[in-house]
Every structure is written in structure tokens, then in C-alpha cells.
Structure 1
Amino acid sequence: MHTEVLNISKDECSVCQVESCLTFNPFVEHLRERVSTEKTLKSEFYRYVLERFEQDICIDLNMRPADAERHREMLELIYSILTPPIANEKEFYWALSTPVPDKVFLSTEAFFDFHSSQRSNLYAINESRNEMFADRQKRFIYSLILERLYGFSSAIRNELLFSYVDPETGLSRYFNIQTDPRFVEIELKGQLPELNFDAIEPYLHSNTSLDLIEQALPLHLFKFKGFTVISLTDITLQHAMENIRTELVNHTANEEEQYEHVIHSLKTISENQGIEFALMPFLSINNEPIFDNDQCSQSALLKAAKEFHLAEETFDAVVDDYSTNPRPIFFNSLTDEKIAKFPFLQVLKKAGIKSYGIFPVYYNKKNVGIMEVFSYNEIVFYEKLLSKLQATIPMIAQLLQNSIDRFEARINSVIKNKFTSLQPSVQWKFNEVAWKYIRQKDKKKKNPEIETVTFSHVYPLFGAIDIRNSTVERNSALQEDLKSLLTLLADTLRALSKHIRLSLTGKLISKCEEWLDRISGYITTNDELLLDTFLDNEVNPFLEHFRKNYPAEKETIDKYFEALNEETGAAYAHRRNLETSMQLINTSINQYLEAAQTEVQESYPCYFEKFRTDGVEYDIYIGQSIAPQRAFDVLYLKNIRLWQVRSMAEIARMTNGLADQLSRPLQTTHLIFIHSNAIDISFRNDERRFDVEGAYNIRYEVIKKRIDKVLIAGTFERLTQPGKIAMVYFNPGEAAEYDEYIRYLQLEGYLLDDLEYLELEELQGVSGLKALRVGVNFETELPAN
């Protein structure tokens, strides 16, 4: 043990910001309490230490850190009381400090060496959180005052994450530095001020000025007495795991960088700079593996095979054999005997690799790729290494599966963008343009350009069927599932606490209750991630231990783990119900529109395009330029407009009729944008879709995209409402035309007699919008079409 005084701050002259004195009295009071309550043999040791302190004059002294050596024996008794008996001080990071952590006066050998070698970095840690040492010290002081004297627990934790590069391995290590203030008493000098907690609370969090709280609670009113306990915990493994988890969540990251970060974390876990990793997802086209891609380029075997020209048939044989029988293969050393048996090892040896291993990675029981582990300068003992990496395998599997999904999405995107089949109504135009392009090439015209496919003077029709409050419904389903899971977890822990006496059980129950309160409002992505971390790192390992070692509790714990099954578990029930319900609604709408296209096209050829959102949107374009061989008349436009209103009513009735089949109640809204003027559209070669042409026509697109959430003027009411059809327009003539369609459909029993004429709020750059809104008749039986 060391009694040299160590300054926690880099500043040698740092001064505590509140009056304090170093004393053993709070510790002695703690001992007295333990002697009276302890029922085991420990009580004898506590009694012995208590007697020693009561006989020693140090109990009545206010010490200085520099006096620590005089009281070494008493300090070592404190160490013996507060630390595990088997703790090795050469490996145990532990120290005693002043009441407000400023100076360490007793430390284990491990802590002393750590501080001596890393002291210059301690200041940098605080700066990394935008806090100077003095500011952090002040936050510690106020946090303790509010907790002890006001019963107000702040969000500030007495811990700090610290990282440094281990000089032996050259890899980052992470420590959690925790300060335990149990043996600190606060003496009040004068009257305790009253506090408005609502005003104070925001100032308790990091990166917030403490000016307000300093005015309300001047520090000269308080005196801190006792000492604090500082301990360091190596959390390198947990931190590296969290880094991998963060990479999985960060979908916006460059994929190559993502792999580099994950591999760096794997090296950190291995604690060996000489061990290299490579991750390779199994990508395929038509069930044939492919290797010419960025993800595979990091593979040590593939690099060596290309560099040293491994025979293609040898490489293919290795791939085929491994695909048929995926299993761990590792070679602690690459000897001539092994190379004779496995020829592909020759190129690895030429590449300078001395040890090599391949390990299959499974996702949902399917082999999705491999993890290569190898070294250029030493023999690797893979069995020992794999035990360290075991916890990372599920996350590695997810990473590889994500790469496979992204690759397949890219392929599908190319197919969709480059080879989407064209509707017959416009195919003829593309045939003409393609033929002109071919003729230019055949005539050896320099730099032939493909003509833009354009249809001029066509009438647009836009419709949107949306699932009402889909975002709110998703959050609500998630919230209900999490409440169900946390309630089940709390019940499980309470059941265990009746038979297994552990304080940790109570702590986990308390955390469950905190999470239940936390998720009662809107749940953010960060909340989900933090809750997953709590369950994965704290709860699940805890329950797994008791499931394996306490057979009597297995049935109780199994019910909790069964709830975690995404396909059948109670913890996903509401989300499954929501997705099933949304899928049923959208599938029904799509099937209706697919069937309806036949009727629409029979009256007059038109271009009909659907888009999938939370519901379904569609564009229809009709006009002479789309069918030049057939005379166009405005009556065809009127016919399709009448069809659009009627189809919206039929879709509304259809989705309303699905209510009994929906696992979760959902409603749809129905919107039509009326635009009387003809526009021009052209096919955008870069996006492989039709778009409007010209500044005036673009205004149509702008309005179309902004009206889905428009409000009625002077109110907070959304125009679109379940059970109603909303028709947005500009000109009175448009309203008069649609008024006729509505009255006809009311007589036919499609619509209710509740037509509204509404003024709408101004949108950005758009004013003068109006709307018709009419209810759909869900009661009357309609004539068969």
C-alpha cells in the first residue's frame, strides 16, 4: 500500500471549493452500525476494527493527507474492511481520497502505478467532456448536497470513463473511475435554503452552467467531513462490445469504415496487437458465390490467392468444401506438413502469415460469412482467443447479414431502376425513342444521344390513401411491448427474490421500474438502444445464471425468455399486430388498384403509377399524346375523375370492413388533388420514372407533396380524416364539377349527405387552396360493379 499524496487534478495547486476536513468519524459510525446488524463471523472482525479505532487518537483528529503514513495501520484496516479479502493490491485499483476528491492519501500498488504512468491524461479526460476539473468537482459537491440534504437525486453520476493506450500491447484500454461518498458527512452552517427543484434540475446535467444553483446554495454554508473511496474498473471488453453495437446501429456509416471500426474493437478484445482479423460476408448471385467486392477484399486468403496466383480450381475447391461443410479451421502454425495436406496454405505462408484460422458465422441458423483470425509474427492459440470473442459473434453475424442485405438491395435497385417493365400505354413511345437511338448508332453518328421521352398536355390525377397516425401507432405499439416486457421482467425478479437473497435483484427491479416510468412518454431510438443494453448486459446474463444453476427457478425464468422471441413472444405482440394490420390494409389497397387499372385502361389508355408509403399513393396521366392513334375527348377525363372519387369511397369501405380482421385497430384517410390544367411530363433517365416538366408544372408536384398534412384555415384540424374523402382544389369550376360527381355518388349510396366546403391554411409558397370533404357511407349495400 502507498501513503504518498497523489493529486487527482493535473494542477498541483488546485483548491477544494468547499470547506472540508479529513476524518474517520463517518467510517467509525458505519462500523458501529455493521457490528449491531451483522449476523455472520464478519461481526467479530468489525468489532475488532471498531475497538482499534475507538482506542486510537486518530478518531478525534482532523487529518491532513500528508499525515497518512502516521496512521498507516488504521488505513490498512479500512482497506481490509472495504475490499474483498482475496483482492490482490497489485491488480486491484483502489484508493482513499479527501471528502471532495482532490488528493489521494492511500492507494493500492496497482492504483499508484496507474496514476503515476497515466496522470497526465486524467486532465484530458475531463476536457473530453467539456468540463474542467474544478467544474466537475463542483458538480460532485452539489450532487451530494442535494441528495443528502434535500433528498433530490441528480442525473450526475460519480464516475468517469477513461481510456489510454496500453504501452505493452499498443491497444486502447478503458477504465471506469468511480467515487464512493458513503463516508462523507455534510455539516450545515446556518439555515438550509429553500429550493425550487423545477428551476434547479436543468442545471444539474453536464455542459450546463452552475451559476443559478450557486446563487441558491452558496458553498460557504457547508462543510464536508470524512473521506471518499475511489475505484477503477477495467471495462475494456464492455466498451469494445458497445463500440461494435454502435457500429451496427449507425446505418449511415461508410461500410468499409464500419468494418475497420469493428475489427479494431475485436483487436481490443483480443488484447494482442499482433492478431489480425478479417470479416467476409457470403455474397452470391443466382446462388453462386462472388468474391470481387470491397467486403471480400480484406480477406487474408483472398488477398494472398490473388497476389500469389493460387490456381482458380484450388481456390474454388476450398470454397466448395467449406460451403458444404462450414466448421472452424485453425492452424496455430503453417508447417510444410500442413501445407502438403492443405495446399491453399502455401499462399498464406508466402504472404508472411504464421498462424491462420477461419470461423463460420451464423445468423438465424444460416451461415452468412466467416471471420478470419491470423498473425504475421506469432503463433496464435485460437481456443483461448475464441472464449474472449464468443460474446461478439451474434453482433458479427448481424454485421455480415447487414452487408448481405445491402448487397441484395443494391442488386434489386439496379433491376428496378434499369429494367422496370413499362406499362403498355407508354411502351410505344419508348420503342420509337430506342429505334431512333439505334439508327443514330448504325449511321456512325458521333456521340449519339438518347431522346427524352416526353408526353405533352396530359391531365394529372393524384390520390393518396394513408394509414392514420402511423408514426404514433408505431411508437404506441413499441411502448406497449416494452411495458409488457418490463412488467414481466419485474414480476420474474420479484419471484426470484423470494428464494434467492441478493441485493442485486432489488437493484434490477428498481431499474425496471425506472424504465417503466421512462417509456411512458415518447420513445426515442436512443431509449431503445439504452434499454437493449440494460437487458443484454445486466438482466439476461443475471437470469441465465440462475436458470442454469437453480433448477427450481427455471420455469419462472423461461417465461421471460420466451417473451423475447420476435415471432411468438409477448414482448413483440403489439408490433407484430401493427405490422400485420398495416400489411393487410396495404395489400388490400394494392390488389384493389391493380384490378381497377383494367377498368381505367379500357375507357382510355393512361399511365398509372403507384408508390408505397405508410399507405399507398398513385399518379395517373391521361391525354392525347399518350394514345395518339385514338381520339381524346374531355369526357374520358371526366369519366376517370368520377372513377377516382368512387374508387376512394370503395377503398374507404374496404379498409373499414377490414376492422374485424385487423390485429390492431387502424384507420385510413383518403385524399384527392384536383388539377384542371394539362401539364407536360418526361421520363427521367437517371431516376427511371416520369416527372413533370417546366416551372409551372413543377408547382403541381410541390402542392401535391405538401397537402397531406394541411390544416383547415383558422383551426388545428387536419383536412384528412378517417371515414371521409378530401378533395383539394384551386378553382370554383373544379369544385362545381366534383360537386356533381359527389351528388351522383350520394344517390348511389357511396357517400353521405354531409358535403363541406373548406378554406385551407396557406402552405409555404402556396395560397388560395380550398377543399371539398364528404363522408363515406359505410352502411348502405352498394350495387355490384
Structure 2
Amino acid sequence: MQTKLLHIQEKPLPDIVEAVLTFKSFTEYLRQKTSEEKTIKKQFNQYVLDLFEKEPAFTGIIGEDEAAGRQDLLELVYASLTPGISDEKELLWALSNAVPKNIFYCTDAFAAFSKSISLNDQATFQKNVNVTKTHKYEYVYSMIMRKFYGFNIDVKSEMIYTYSDPSTSLNRYFRIDADTRFVDIKLKGKLPELNLSDLEPYLQETDDIELITRLVPLDLFRFEGFSVITFTDFTAKYSIDSIRNAILGHSANSKELHTKVIDSLKTLAGDNQIEFGLLPFLKLNGRPVFESNNCSQSLLMQSAWQEEAGKTFDLLIDQYLESPRTLFFGVLDEEKVAQFPFLKKLFDDHVMSYAIIPIYYNMHLAGIMEIYSRQRVIPFEETLSAIEPAFTLIGQLLQNCSDEFNSRIESVIKRKFTSLQPSVQWKFNEAAWNYLKLKRMVGEKHEIETITFNHVYPLYGAVDIRESTVERNRAFREDSTSLLQALQKALITLKKQHHLTLIDELVYQCGKWLNRVSDNITTNDEILLSQFFERDVEPFLAHFKTAYPGTSDLLREYEAATDESWGTGFARRRDLEASIRLINVSVNNYLDQVQAELQESYPCYFEKFRTDGVEYDIYIGQSIAPHHPFNLLYLKNLRLWQLRSMAELARLTNSLLTQTPIPLQTTQLIFVHTTPIDISFRNDERRFDVEGAYNIRYEIIKKRIDKVSIKGSSERLTQPGKIALVYFNDREMEEYLQFISYLQEQGYLGKPIEFLELDELQGVSGLKAIRVSVLFN
């Protein structure tokens, strides 16, 4: 035991707090224990009490230096307040004044611990031990409230000291506890009256120090006695709490989360030379998959990526999933590498010790933890014992990775492949809940209700690729010509070496097809030409290669041309598909990005369809968002957006003319329908459709107007660089004419407006249209 003065706080409390060192409360404690105790401790307590009462200095106020000079008495304090089996060389225990500031007596362990703090760390020690101003007030007022008002105010923040262990370079954490049983508070004036309502603001927000000091001034009190300070190694619990908090509060950055957890595992293990890896078992369609964001901390996964040994790694994981078990490799050597080939890359990277630990969550294998070191042989039994308390949390972490992966997959499916959108999700949720409730009452025979939205306003738009059919026919003719010419050349070369009449017949057929594809070709012609290659040419050439192996070189040029991925016989079609794909992806991306803007103004349902271009339906109305009051202003805003977006899409696709292998132009079409309709979800087609005979007429018109012509001419309504708006009566167009005028002023649209009448469609007459050009600059 040691008597010394150790300064632990610069300003433990404001100067107005009066605190003195006395042992009166301790002697009263001994007196009470002596009267209550029935064991041999009674004699010990009486012995200690007699010694303290014989010392006048210890019956009143005493200085810290004077108290520290009586080690014999302070040892009795230690013996009275600690269990008999305590080892003072291990217990971090000390005595301080009434409001902790200076240590005047401590165990050897406490003294050694304070000495281990280097001069460079002294400031850190002061900072960590010296609690915040708010905490100081909480500490003092908790004692005042408990004694004078009967209120128990818990000090909300723990006093934690972070210590960098020089032997491991890892942090250790100590909880600082102050035992205030031997602190007495003397009132120096009149006690202020106080009730719970006065304290409520302070209890709710303890940062409001001015309130509590105004209600109960500190200069009314004097603190007498001493405090018992205990440092408890908190490292294990702190590390576990750090892992738990990291898991609960993590962001989308899985790599950062795993790094925090691994740092806490190293602290828990108490060895900076031991490393950890985490590998969650993500599954897609029942098969394990791995992604860099979740697997970046796995040494095994990094080795597989570096070696590009994907198939070998997949086989290894499949085998492990069949029989998951703990694998220890105390020392990696060539013998173990020969027995377990997957260790070779680890061995080459100078890994000395390695282990794989299966981690479970709710009895389900969630992934593995790796333990390894490049500096030393790992004592696995000792390490596992140290980190075992974290296994449950690690299982939760790996399972969270799997759940988040599945959620991301589902989110992409919902966003990219299904019609179900957030704006209508609530309706499906209600229907599912009603179905489950009725299912319990009437059984499986109950049918789920039809999802219907009544009285919604439709908006239809289409961005179509101009002359796409003509371009497809042209591409087919050019590719077929190239393929036939390559075949004809190969057959003529074969004829020079093998005099077969059948070769002449195939050369003749090639000539006929070359003449045929030079003109307009029909769909039936395409089928017949494909059959010619598949039934006549391919079997003949295959036999020739088998019977005459030397002919392979003669056929190589033709066979190269037949490769759909890069052969010249499909070059034009590939260029066309690439051009169409770029346009459609660009249009789709634009529409996906602006959907958020639409939903912010008022929830609506937005559905796209893939054709040679892109078509879309938008539905808006009160029934889609029953808790958001609907006004026709939202519909007006949506119509203006539709017209402006068509101009922007025309500009976008025009800018792609120089970026596509085949320049393709687009047309923009809007169908104006001002009357609300009803729509319902068709379970068989997994999409919304219109309801009622009148509403179906809207759907019929929408599907037919893309190829309508101007009345009295053969000119198509839809033209590149222009937006066409189809309608029935002039009143429907009054609003759109205002929008057009506004967009003309904004530089989106050109000045001339064409007012057109359209040819009759099957079952539809009286259609009109206006057409306006788009300004591309």
C-alpha cells in the first residue's frame, strides 16, 4: 500500500463548492457495524474504531498530507472496506477527498498503474479522468437531492478512462467508481423549498445547469468526508458494447462497420498481432455468392480474388457448407498446404497461424470468422475464450449482411421488374392484411380482393424509334448478303478440291438468295433463309469437316462470319440493337430520375413499357393517395411536366445521333384524355388495366394512334423532332396551348403550331392533333 498525493482533476467542481477531508462518517460506520455484527468481524471493527477515536486529528477536519502520513490507520480503512481475499497488488483502489480531486492513499496496483502512464499520456489521463462540467454537477447534485429532498437522480454518463497498453499498443478501458458513503453534506443556510415540477426541466435536460444552480445554490453546502475510488477493468464489456453499438448504428458502409468490429475483437483478445476476418454467407437462389463490400475483410476471400480462383473457391465453400466445422492451423507449413491446397496463398503471404470458426445465428450458419497472424503462433484456446462473448453479436452482424443483401435484391426487383410502386404499395398491404384476417375465419377458399383505384386521371406518352422496322429489314438484308457471300466464297474454294455436284447446288442456292435479299424481304423470307442455313448448309459443312479434316482452314472465314457476338454476318444487326439499346436506356434512366420529382408534388402511379422505344402510363387521383387532399392543380402540374419532359427527351435522343453506331431518330407522342377512369390490378398479367367499357375505349385508342396519318395525306402524324398531342375536342387543348406558349418562351419549343385532323382508325373517328417542333439548341 502507498500513501502519496496523486492529482487527478484540475477543476473537479466550481470554486464555490466547499469540500474538506474528515473521517467522521467512517467512524460512525464502524460504530454501527460493531453494534450489528455477530461474527469475529465485530472485534476487528471495534479495534479499528478505538484506534481512530484515540487520534484527535482523525476526529475532525484533517489535511490530505497529514492523513497520508498515517499509513497504519489508512491500511485499516482498506481492510475494513475491501473483502479479505482482495489482492492489493491487483486491486485498483484508492482514497480521495470528499469531492474527488487528489488521491492520498492507494494500493500498489493503483500506484503502479498511475506510474505506467507515460509523460506523453499524462494529458490524456487528466482529460479522461476529468469528467465534463455537466457530469460534475450531476455528481454533486445527485448527493444533495438524495439527502435533502429524497430525489434519486442517476448520473447518466459513466466515468471511463481509456488507457493505451504499451505492451500491446491496444486500448484498455477502466470504469471509475466513486463510493460516497463516507461523504456527509452540511447545510450552511436555509434549505430552498423544491418540488418535482420545479426539477422537471432539469431532469429532462441535464445540460440546463443554470436552472438547478439557481434553484439550489451550491454555496449552501459543505462536503465532509472522503471518497473511495475504484478502477475496474472494463475492456471486455466496453469492447462488446462497442460491437453492439456499431451494429445498431451502422451506415450502409459495410467495410467501415466490419473494420470497427474487428478493432473491437482485437481489443477483446488483447493481442495486436492477431487479426480477424469476417465472411458472411450470402445466398442467391440457394447458392452462396460473395460481394466485395461485405467480404473485403476476409483473408480467404482476398486470396481467392487475387488468384482469380473463383471456381476453386466456390467448390471449397460448397464443401464447407455441407460440413461446417472449426479448422485450426497452428503453424502453416508445406505439409499442411499439401493437405489443404486453399492455404497455399495464405502461406505465400507469410500467414503463420490461421483458423476458421463457423458463426451461427439462431441455429443457422451465418458465416465464418477467420483468426490469423503473420507475426506469431496463435494460442487459439486462449483467444477463443477471450472473444467468445462476442460470438452472438458477430452472428447478428453476419445475418444482417445477409438480410441487407436480400433487401437490396428485392429493392432492385421491385424497382426494375415489377409494377408495384410505393405510391400504391399501401393498397396491396391492406389487401394482404384483409386476406390474412379472412383466411383465418373462412380458410383457403377465400379469394383475395381486387386492387382497384377509381376516378384517376390518365396520362399516356410514347417515345418511339422512327422507322425501326425499316432499319431492322435493312440490317437483315445487309447481314444476310454478307453471310451468303462468305458462304459462296467458301463453297467455291471447296469445289476446287472436292468435285461434288452438291457443292454446285449450294452455290446456286446462294446466288438465288443473294438476288432475293437485295429486294424487300418478308418475314416468311427470313424464316426460309434461316432454314436454308440450318437444314442445308450446316449439316453439309459439318460432314465435310469430319470427312475431310483438312478443309477446316477453308471454312474458318465463313464460320467466323456466323458468330452472332462478333462475326461480320451479324454486324449490322448488332449495331442496330446497340443503337436501340442506348436510346432506350437513356430514356428509361431519364424517366427513372424524374419520378422522384413527380412523387414529391403528389403521389402517382408511373408504369413504363418496352417497345421499340418506351411507352408510359401515369395515373393520378385521390384514390391513389387518400390521405393527401387532391386538387386539379396537381394534374395540371403533371401535364406541364409531361410536355416539358417530352421536349427534353427529344433533345436527349437527338444528342445520341453521333454516339450510336446507326443514327436513329425518335418521335414523341402524347394522348390527351381529360376524363377520369378506373383501373384495377390484373393478377394474371401483374399489371394495372382499365375497367369498364368506356374506359377500355381509352386503352384501344392509345394502342392505335402511334401509326395514325394526317387526314387527306399519307404523312404520319409522329415525326422526328416534333411532339404530337392527340385529342378529341378543342376544349381539351386549351390548357395545353397555354403550356406550349410557356415552353416556347422558355426555349423548349418552336413557334409554329400545326392544328391537324387525323384519319379514322378502326372504330375510332373524330381524332384531332396539334404538332409542335422541339428546339434542339
Q: How do residues 255-266 of structure 1 correspond to structure 2 at under 5 angstroms?
A: 255-266=254-265
Structure 1 match to 2:319: 321
- Structure 1 contact 310–347 (Cα < 8 Å) conserved: no
**Alignment-derived partner of residue 354 in structure 1:** 352
Amino acid at match of 2:96: S
2:2 — aligned with what? Answer: 2
Does the aligned pair in 1 maintain the 2:281–2:288 contact within 8 Å? yes
Specify the alignment match of 2:702 in structure 1: 625
Q: Secondary structure at the match of 1:449?
A: helix
In structure 2, distance between residues paired with 1:596 and 1:455: 17
> Structure 1 residue 595: deviation in Å?
12
Q: Which one has the largest radius of gyration?
A: 2
Aligned to 2:576: 442
The residue that corresponds to 2:382 in the other structure is: 384
Query: 1:18: how far off?
Result: 2.3
Secondary structure at the counterpart of residue 376 of structure 2: coil
Q: What is the rounded CA distance, in whole Å, between the counterparts of 2:37 and 2:89 in structure 1?
A: 30
* Deviations 1:363-399, CA, capped at 9 Å, x for gaps: 2222121101100101111122112222211211111
Partners of 1:188 and 1:363 in 2: how far apart?
Answer: 57
Report if the CA contact (8 A) 2:135-2:155 is conserved.
Answer: no
> Structure 1 pair 90/598, CA: closer, same or farther in 2 (3 Å)?
closer
Tell me: CA distance 1:78–1:253, structure 2 relative to 1, closer, same or farther (3 Å). Answer: farther
Q: Give the conservation status (yes or no) of the 8 Å contact 2:259–2:297.
A: no
Give a deviation string over 1:721-746, Cα, whole Å, max 9, x none: xxxxxxxxxxxxxxxxxxxxxxxxxx
Distance 2:97 2:226 in 1: 5
Contact 1:459 1:677 in 2 (8 A): no
Q: Distance in 2 between matches of 1:347 and 1:42?
A: 66
Tell whether the 8 Å contact from 1:459 to 1:679 is kept in structure 2 after alignment.
Answer: no
SS state of the match for residue 341, structure 2? coil
Aligned twin of 2:648: none
Q: 1:110 to 1:446 in 2, by over 3 A?
A: same
**Aligned residue runs from structure 1 range 491-570, under 5 A:** none
For the pair 1:120 / 2:123, whether they are aligned, the reply is yes
Question: What residue is the counterpart of 2:599 in the other structure?
Answer: none
Cα distance, 1:604 vs structure 2? 5.2
> Which residue pairs with 1:603 in the alignment?
693
Do residues 463 (structure 1) and 623 (structure 2) align?
yes
Work out whether residues 58 and 71 of structure 1, in 8 Å CA contact, stay in contact via their aligned partners in 2.
no
* Structure 1 partner of 2:332: 334
Could you tell me which amino acid in structure 2 is paired with residue 194 of structure 1?
E
Cα distance 1:591–1:458, how it changes in 2: closer, same or farther (>3 A)? closer
Distance 1:4-1:678 versus aligned 2 partners, 3 A rule: farther
Rounded to whole Å, the distance in 2 between the matches of 1:283 and 1:680 is 54
- Identify if the C-alpha distance between structure 1 residues 463 and 136 changes in structure 2 by more than 3 Å, giving closer, same or farther: closer
Gaps of 5+ in 2: 422-457, 473-572, 589-607, 609-613, 629-679, 709-730, 743-777
CA separation in 2, counterparts of 1:303 and 1:179? 49
Give the secondary-structure state (helix, strand or coil) at the position aligned to 2:75.
Answer: helix
Task: Name the CA shift for 1:227/1:152 in 2 (closer, same or farther; >3 Å).
Answer: same
Distance, in Å, in 2 between the alignment partners of 1:319 and 1:457 is: 46
- Partners of 1:209 and 1:241 lie apart in 2 by 32
Measure how far apart 1:350 and its partner are.
0.8
- 3-state SS of 2:414 partner: helix
Q: Work out the CA distance in 1 between the residues paired with 2:398 and 2:332.
A: 28
Q: Hey, what does 1:214 align to over in structure 2?
A: 213
TM-score (norm 1): 0.56
Residue type of the alignment partner of 1:170: S
Contact 2:460 2:702 in 1 (8 A): no
Which deviations, in whole Å up to 9, do the C-alpha atoms of 1:579-615 show, x marking residues without a partner?
xxxxxxxxxxx999999999954535679xxxxxxxx
Q: Deviation digits for residues 164-205 of structure 1, max 9, x if unmatched?
A: 322221112211111111101112223222235433443467
Question: Shift of the alpha carbon at 1:245?
Answer: 1.2
Q: Secondary structure at the match of 2:105?
A: strand
**Structure-2 separation of matches of 1:54 and 1:93:** 28
Contact 2:239-2:264 at 8 Å conserved across structures: yes
Q: Which residue of 1 aligns with 2:232?
A: 233
Shift of 1:234: 1.4
Q: Report the counterpart of residue 416 of structure 1 in structure 2.
A: 414
The answer as to 2:105 corresponding to 1:106 is yes
Which residue identity lines up with residue 171 of structure 1 in the other structure? L
Tell me if the contact between 1:10 and 1:119 (Cα under 8 Å) persists in the aligned partners.
no
1:17 Cα deviation after fit: 3.5
Q: Which runs of 5+ in 1 are unaligned?
A: 469-589, 608-620, 632-675, 682-692, 697-785
Following the alignment from structure 1 to structure 2, what is the Cα–Cα distance between the partners of residues 114 and 414? 56
Distance 1:325 1:435, change over 3 A: farther
Say whether the 8 Å CA contact 2:52–2:59 is kept in structure 1. no
Match of 2:61 in 1: 62
The question of whether the paired residues in 2 share the 8 Å contact of 1:606 and 1:626 is answered with no
Aligned to 1:397: 395
What is the aligned residue count? 502
Aligned to 1:773: none
Secondary structure at the aligned position of 1:2 is classed as coil
Query: 3-state SS of the aligned residue for 1:344?
Result: helix
Tell me the percent identity: 36
**Helix, strand or coil for the counterpart of 2:70?**
helix
Any idea what SS the aligned residue of 2:159 has? strand
Q: State the match for 2:92 in structure 1.
A: 93
* Distance in 1, Cα, partners of 2:211 & 2:420: 67
Comparing 214-223 with 159-168, greater Cα deviation is found at: 214-223
* CA deviations over 1:627-662 (Å, ceiling 9, x no partner): 75999xxxxxxxxxxxxxxxxxxxxxxxxxxxxxxx
Shift of 1:438: 8.0
In structure 1, C-alpha distance between the alignment counterparts of 2:97 and 2:688, rounded to whole Å: 84
**Structure 1 residues 458, 190: closer, same or farther in 2, change over 3 A?**
closer
Letter matched to residue 412 of structure 2 = V
Gap change, CA 1:421 and 1:178, over 3 Å in 2 = closer
Contact 1:204-1:210 within 8 A present in 2 as well: no
Higher mean C-alpha deviation, range 344-353 or range 113-122: 113-122
Distance 1:694 1:103, change over 3 A: farther
In structure 2, relative to structure 1, the CA distance for the partners of 1:443 and 1:347 (3 Å cut) is: closer
Question: Could you tell me which residue of structure 1 aligns to residue 19 of structure 2?
Answer: 20
Structure 1 residues 434 and 113: alpha-carbon distance in aligned structure 2, compared to 1, 3 A threshold: farther
Give deviations 1:82-132, integer Å, cap 9, x for gaps: 1122222222111111111111111112222333415422442377x7x34
Query: Is residue 135–residue 157 contact of structure 2 (8 Å, CA) maintained in 1?
Result: no
Hey, what's the Cα distance between the residues in 2 that align with 1:350 and 1:212?
Answer: 66
What is the alpha-carbon root mean square deviation over aligned residues? Answer: 4.4
- Verify the 8 A CA contact 2:22 2:224 in the aligned structure 1: yes
Letter matched to residue 463 of structure 1:
S
**In the aligned structure 1, how far is the partner of 2:25 from the partner of 2:332?**
63
CA distance in 2, matches of 1:103, 1:67: 13
Q: Is the 8 A contact 1:457 1:678 kept in 2?
A: no
Q: Give 1:81's aligned residue.
A: 80
Distance 1:211 1:695 in 2: 63
Shift of 1:435: 5.4
Which whole-Å CA distance do the structure 1 matches of 2:79 and 2:106 have between them? 13
C-alpha distance in 1 between matches for 2:231 and 2:733: 73
Instruction: Give the 3 Å change call, closer, same or farther, for CA 422–406 of structure 1 in structure 2.
Output: closer
SS at match of 2:190: coil
1:75: how far off? 0.8
Distance in structure 2 (CA, Å) of the matches to 1:386 and 1:437: 71
Q: Distance in 2 between matches of 1:176 and 1:437?
A: 80
Asked if the contact 1:460/1:679 (under 8 Å) is kept, the reply is: no
Separation in 1, partners of 2:467, 2:246 = 46
Amino acid in structure 1 at the alignment position of 2:237 = Q
Q: Does 1:345 align with 2:348?
A: no
**8 Å contact from structure 1 (residues 456, 679) kept in 2:** no
Contact 2:682/2:689, CA 8 A, preserved across alignment = no
In the aligned structure 2, how far is the partner of 1:599 from the partner of 1:346?
60
* CA deviations over 1:416-471 (Å, ceiling 9, x no partner): 33333799x99996997995798595298699523576879987444258899xxx
Structure 1 counterpart SS, 2:176:
strand
Instruction: Return the alpha-carbon distance in structure 2 between the equivalents of residues 60 and 182 of structure 1.
Output: 17
Q: Which amino acid aligns with 1:186?
A: I
